[in-house]
């Protein structure tokens, strides 16, 4: 991505399904975890999956409480909203 002109990307991770999630400043990736409550309802809290390393401790605590801090972009791993298919990106398909 860096060689293709995207100078904001600082790294990334490859998910189990083969998609690449790039790290950008102030971007975190979260994943929903479904838990059934005692009354039969389903709670969907999220867990912090990863980030590019520049998220403050205060922002991390807010995220784990389900609050999105200002100036932080959240990508949901299950929705693939920021994911890149490397084969499509590199035109290998």
Q: Which two tokens stand for residue 46?
A: 């999220």
Instruction: Specify the pLDDT at position 58.
Output: 87
Instruction: Specify the pLDDT at position 2.
Output: 83
Instruction: Specify the pLDDT at position 34.
Output: 64
Instruction: Specify the pLDDT at position 17.
Output: 83
Distances (CA, A) of 16 to 43, 56, 66, 77: 24, 27, 24, 11
User: Which one, of 13, 8, 26, lies nearest residue 77 by Cα?
Assistant: 13
Instruction: Specify the pLDDT at position 37.
Output: 66
Residue ranges per structural domain of the chain:
2-86
* pLDDT mean values, one per 10 residues, the chain (93 residues): 86 85 82 68 63 79 80 73 86 83
Instruction: Specify the pLDDT at position 48.
Output: 59
Q: Does the global pTM surpass 0.75? A: no
Q: Which two tokens stand for residue 2?
A: 């860096």
Instruction: Specify the pLDDT at position 80.
Output: 63
């Amino acid at each position: 991505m860096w060689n293709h002109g995207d100078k904001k990307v600082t790294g990334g991770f490859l998910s189990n399904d083969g998609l690449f999630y790039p790290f950008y400043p102030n971007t975190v990736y979260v994943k929903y975890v479904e838990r059934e409550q005692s009354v039969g309802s389903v709670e969907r809290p999220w867990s912090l999956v990863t980030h590019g390393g520049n998220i403050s401790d205060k922002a991390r605590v807010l995220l784990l409480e389900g609050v999105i801090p200002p100036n932080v972009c959240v990508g949901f791993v299950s929705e693939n909203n920021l994911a890149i298919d490397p084969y499509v990106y590199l035109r290998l398909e």
